[in-house]
Chain A
Amino acid sequence: MSMRMIGDPVRRKEDLRFLTGNGHYTDDINRPGQLYAVFVRSPHAHAELRGVDAKQAKAAPGVVAVYTGADLAAAGIGSLPCGWGVKNKDGSPMAEPPHPVLATGRVRHVGDPVAVVIAATKAEAEEAAELVEVDYKELPAVSSAEAALKQGAPLLFDAAPGNLCYDWHIGDEAPVTAAFAKAAHVTKIDMVNNRLIPNAMEPRAYIGEYDRGTGDYTLHTTSQNPHAIRLLMGAFVLHLPESKLRVVAPDVGGGFGSKIYHYAEEAAVTWAAGKLARPVKWTAERSESFVSDAHGRDHVTHAELALDKDGKFLALKVSTIANLGGYISTFAPAVPTYLYATLLAGTYTTPAIYAEVKAAFTNTVPVDAYRGAGRPEASYVLERIIDRAARELKIDPAELRRRNFIPKNAYPYQTPVALAYDSGDYFTTLDMALKAADYAGFEQRRAEAKQRGKLRGIGLATYIEACGVAPSAVAGALGARAGLYEVGEIRVNPTGSVTVFTGTHSHGQGHETTFAQLVSERLGVPIELVDVVHGDSAKTPFGMGTYGSRSLPVGGSALVKALDKVEAKGKKIAAHLLEAAEADIEFKDGKFTVAGTDKSKSFGEIAFAAYVPHNYPLDVLEPGLDETAYYDPKNFTFPSGAHIAEVEIDSDTGTVELKRFTAADDFGRIVNPMIVDGQVHGGLAQGIGQALFEECRYDAESGQLLTGSYMDYRMPRAADLPFFEVSTHGTLCTHNPLGVKGCGEAGAIGSPGAVMNAVVNALMPLGIHDLQMPATAERVWQAIKGAAKRAA
C-alpha cells in the first residue's frame, strides 16, 4: 500500500465542522455564570484624561463592576509589552513609552480604552457604559507620521521627543554615494504605502475565567499564538506564573497578523475574571475592531535607484517614515526595519543599498504586522521604481528585471542588507508568468481596448520574501525578545492512531490537513487516523504560533524531527520483536522489515508493543511511542515569484477594472497544492485590495477615523476580482528537511506593485507617470483631469 500524500490536493479535514455550523469560535463559547464586558473608549484622538466617574454606571441594572485605568494601576497591572526592540543609528535604544491596559492620564487615539463595564448581560453592560462620565480635555492631534515628526507637532509622549520612536538605518552609505556619483542614470520616486485595516471576518473575542479552588486562570482568545499571549500577559501584565494560566485559541476566523498581538482587552477580562471569580466575556463589535485591532502598512518613502547605461542597478537608497500609531504594538518596531529594509535587494544584484527609517508616534490606532509585514512595502518600493526606470530608459520592464536578477548559480547569495538567500530561480517564474499572461500579445489587447474607448495597461512585479522568521540567535541579536523556533509532538496511540501536537496555530491555513498529510505519508497511517491538535497551552508544548508564513517551514520541520525520533524508536522495537539487528530494519509504507527478508511488523504492531510491553527490551528502551522535537530554523526561507496584472480604465469615470491577474510563485516543495493555491488567492485579494480599494483614512485635524465601517472602508467583494491564474515552481529550500518555503503572504507582497504598474502603464498615454495607492475611481479621474489640464 503506497501512502503518498505529500503533493496531493487532499480535501481538508477541518471543513466538515465549518460547513455544518459546528466550528467552535470564541464567541460561540459560553460559560455558566458568565458576565459581559464592554469597554468605554475615547471619542477623541488626543486628550488629557482628567477623571473617570463611574458612580452612575456602577448603580445601573445588572452592573457588577466598573474598572478604570486607576484601578488597574492600583492593582499593579503592568504595561502591554513590546516583543522587539530596535536601536537608533547611534546605537541607543528606541523610545519605549508604556502602553497601559486602560488609559491613565492621557488618551492617544480614538478607541483608546479608558474603562471596562462588567454586567450580567451584554445589553446591560452597553447601557451602563453610556453612563460612565469621562472628563477629557482635548489636545491637538496628529495622525500622519510626516506631520508628527515636524517641529511643533503635538507631542504624544514626553519620553519620545519629536514623536520619534527610532531613527534606524541599514547598509553602508559610502559605496551607495560613490555609485550614485558615477551613475549613467538616476530614477527617483516618492511613494505612500497606504494604511490598511486587516479585517479578519471574525471580530476579536475573549473569555477570562478563574477557578477559585485551584487559583488557575483560563483565557479563551482569538489569537494566532496562544503560548505567546500566555507568556506576555502572564509575565509582564498580570504577573501570573505560566503554570496558573491556560490560554486557548480555538477555531479562529482569520488573523492576517492582527491576532498575533497581546491586546488590552485580553488582560482586562482575565484580570476581572479573577477579581470577580466569574467568567467574563468580551466580543468586539466590528466598529470597535476598526478602532482597536492593530492596523497595517502606513509608510511614506522616497527612493532613488542608480543605474549604468545598460540598465544594471548600481545602488539603491531609500528613506522611509513609518507610522507606529499611538502606542508600540507587540511586534511593531520590527516591521518597518528588519522585515522591510532587509528585503530591499529583492530578486536583484544591486551591490550597494542604504536605507533609513524613522518611526513616529501619532494619534492613531497602533500599527503592526499585517499579511506580509514590511515585505509588501519593500517589494512595492522596488517594483515601482524599477518600472519607472524602465520607462525612463525605454527598456522593456521584464527585460530590465531580467538583466538584474541574481543568477541561478549565485546561491547562497549574500545581499548588502543582511540577508543571505539560500536558493531561488527568478528567471523561471518570470518566464512562467509572462507566458501565462500572454505578455507578448498585450499590445494587441491594448489596441482592441482603445477601440472600445478603454485604457488598457499591464504591469509586472517580482518579489522575494523572507519567511519562517528566523534563527533565534540572529533574531535575538537584532532585538527580538522571544525565541522563534517551533515545536511538534507525535503521540502514537496504543492502537496505532496518531495525535499530532503543534505549537503553530491554524486560523484558516488548514494545518489539520497539511500536517496530517506529512504524518500519514511518513508513518503509513491512514490520514483519517491522524488528528492535529493546536491552540491550547494546556495541550501543546510551548510553541510560537502562526505568522510570517512559518507554520510549515518551521512547525513542519519540528514535526519531521519528531517523526525521525518515532521511526528510530520504532526500529529498535521492531529489531527486538523480529530478532534482528537494528541496522537491518527498514521502515517503508507503514512496515518495519528486516532488509532482504519478508519478516516484518506493521506500524500498528510496533505501537501496540510500545504500550503493552510484554515482549519488549525494557532494560534498554522506555515504553511508549510519543516524541517531541523543537526546531530552530537555520535561516529564513525565501519564497519568490512574478506577478502580472492587466487593467482597463474608463477614462470618463476613472474606474479601474482588473481584467487578469497572473501569479507564478516559487514556494519550494508543496505539500497540498489545493491549499497553497487558496493561500495565494487570498493574499492576492488583499494586495489587490490595497492597490485598488482599501485605505484607512484619518481626518488630519481631528484625528477621527473616517473609514470606520464596511460602508466607508472598501473591502474587496466578489465582483471586484477576476479568477486568478496561478502556478508554482519548486526550487527547494536548502536548509529545512522538507525543502518548503511558506506561501501565506506571497500574494499580498507581489500584487500591489503589479497592479499599480498596470494602472500607470494604462495612463501613460495621457502623460501620467505616477499615482499613489489605492487607485480609486476618484483618484484616477482626478489624475486624468489634471493631465488634460496640463495638456491644454
Chain B
Amino acid sequence: MPSVSMTVNGKKASGTVEPRTLLVQFLREILGLTGTHVGCDTSQCGACVVHVNGDSVKSCTMLAVQAEGAAVMTIEGLANGDDLHPMQAAFREHHGLQCGFCTPGMVMSAVDLVKHNKSPSDHQIREWLEGNICRCTGYHNIVKAIKAGAEAMAKARP
C-alpha cells in the first residue's frame, strides 16, 4: 500500500493508505480529524470542504495520494489557539449554524471566498455557496455571517 505525507494544519502528517483512499477518509480515519464531515456521496453537499495549498477543495473528490506534499488545512486548524478565526466568530455572532454538520465546510468555503473577493455582496455569497448545502438555517444567517466575517477579516489583515 502506498504511503502519503503532507502538512496538515501546519504539522507533518503521513500514513499508509490504499490507492482508493479519499483525502477525507485520510483526514477522518487515519489522522482522527473528524471536524471534516461527509454528507453525501456525489460531491454535492460540501460538508467536507478543506483547503489544499490554500484553495477550497471538496476532500471527498480527491484521493489522499493526490495530496502528497500538499499543505492541507481543516476546520481544526483555522482558529489561532483559543482565538476563533474572524469567520468562525462571525458564524457564532450571527447564528450561522444550527446542527453544526455542514458548518466546517461552510466556514472553510467562506474563508476561501474572501481570499478571492475581499468584500463579497450578498448575491456573490449566495452564488459562491452553490456547492454547500445546509438544511437547518435557510442560509439567511450564513450569508449574514459570511458578510460580517469578510468585513472582520479585512479589518484583521489590512
Contact = CB atoms under 8 A, between A and B. Distances in A.
A25 B126 contact: no
A199 B135 contact: yes
B82 to A, nearest CB: 9
Interface string B20-42: 10000000110001111111111
Interface string B80-107: 0000100010011101011111111001
A315 B41 CA distance: 49
B75 A21 contact: yes
Pick from B34, B35, B136, B143 the residue with the most CB of A within 10 Å: B136
B45 to A, nearest CB: 6
Interface string A703-716: 00000011100011
Interface string A776-791: 0000000000000000
Number of contact residues on B: which range applies?
35 or more
A681 B39 contact: no
B146 to A, nearest CB: 10
B130 A682 contact: no
Interface string A693-725: 000000000000000011100011111010110
B104 to A, nearest CB: 6
Contacts of B74: 21
A716 B76 CA distance: 28
A274 B50 CA distance: 38
B108 to A, nearest CB: 10
A253 to B, nearest CB: 3
Contacts of A717: 129-130, 133, 139
Contact of A202 (B39, B91, B137, B139): B39
Interface string A1-28: 0000000000110111111111101011
Interface in A255-312: 256, 285-287
Contacts of B41: 285-287, 709
A225 to B, nearest CB: 16
Contacts of A683: 138
Contact of A507 (B99, B122, B123): B99
Interface string A507-527: 111100000000000000000
A15 B137 contact: no
B95 A678 contact: yes
Contact of B138 (A18, A23, A252, A721): A721
Contacts of A22: 35, 76
Contacts of B139: 681, 685, 716-718, 721
B34 A508 contact: no
Contacts of B138: 681-686, 716, 721, 724, 747
B44 interface: yes
A19 B105 CA distance: 10
A471 B40 CA distance: 39
Given A20-B76, A508-B98, A203 B39 contact: yes
A256 B125 contact: no
A717 B129 CA distance: 8
Contacts of A123: 18, 20
Nearest to A253: B101
B39 A719 contact: no
A744 to B, nearest CB: 11
A286 B136 contact: no
A705 to B, nearest CB: 14
Contacts of B20: 123
Number of contact residues on A: which range applies?
35 or more
Pick from A25, A287, A681 the residue with the most CB of B within 10 Å: A681
A125 to B, nearest CB: 14
Contact of B44 (A18, A27, A200, A709): A709
Contacts of A721: 126, 138-140
Contacts of B153: none
B42 A711 contact: yes
A674 interface: yes
Nearest to B88: A19
A286 B45 CA distance: 10
Interface of B is mostly: loop
Given A21-B35, A21-B75, A201-B99, A715 B135 contact: yes
Pick from A16, A251, A510, A717 the residue with the most CB of B within 10 Å: A717
Contacts of A724: 138, 140
A254 interface: yes
B102 A201 contact: yes
A675 interface: yes
Given A18-B100, A252-B99, A715-B133, A201 B141 contact: no
Contacts of B79: 20
B114 interface: no
Interface in B115-157: 122-123, 125-127, 129-130, 132-143
B137 A201 contact: no
Contact of B34 (A28, A684, A686): A28
B47 interface: yes
B44 to A, nearest CB: 4
Given A21-B75, A682-B135, A715-B133, A710 B44 contact: yes
B109 to A, nearest CB: 11
B76 A21 contact: yes
Given A14-B100, A510-B98, A678 B35 contact: no
B132 to A, nearest CB: 7
Contacts of A16: 84, 92
A508 B98 CA distance: 4
B96 to A, nearest CB: 9
Given A199-B135, A681-B137, A27 B38 contact: yes
B47 A201 contact: yes
A624 B140 CA distance: 46
Contacts of A686: 135, 138
A719 B126 contact: yes
A254 B135 contact: yes
A202 B44 contact: no
Interface string A349-360: 000000000000
Contacts of B47: 201
B101 A201 contact: yes
A718 B126 contact: yes
A508 B84 contact: no
A202 B37 contact: yes
B37 A20 contact: no
Nearest to B20: A123
A718 B18 contact: no
Contacts of A23: 35, 100-101
Nearest to B94: A674
B107 to A, nearest CB: 7
Pick from A16, A23, A30, A675 the residue with the most CB of B within 10 Å: A23
B17 to A, nearest CB: 11
Contacts of B29: 30
Contact of B140 (A11, A285, A723): A723
Interface string A155-198: 00000000000000000000000000000000000000000000
29 contacts: A11-B93, A11-B95, A15-B91, A16-B84, A19-B91, A19-B97, A20-B76, A21-B76, A23-B35, A25-B37, A201-B37, A201-B134, A251-B99, A253-B101, A254-B136, A286-B42, A508-B100, A508-B136, A677-B95, A681-B138, A681-B140, A682-B98, A682-B136, A685-B138, A709-B40, A709-B42, A709-B44, A710-B40, A719-B126
Interface of B: 18, 20, 28-29, 33-42, 44-45, 47, 74-76, 78-79, 84, 88, 91-93, 95, 97-104, 107, 122-123, 125-127, 129-130, 132-143
Given A201-B102, A287-B42, A719-B129, 14 more contacts: A11-B92, A12-B92, A22-B76, A201-B47, A251-B99, A254-B99, A254-B136, A286-B40, A682-B98, A684-B138, A709-B44, A717-B129, A717-B130, A718-B134
A-B residue pairs, 6 tightest by C-beta: A21-B35, A253-B101, A18-B100, A685-B138, A508-B99, A508-B98
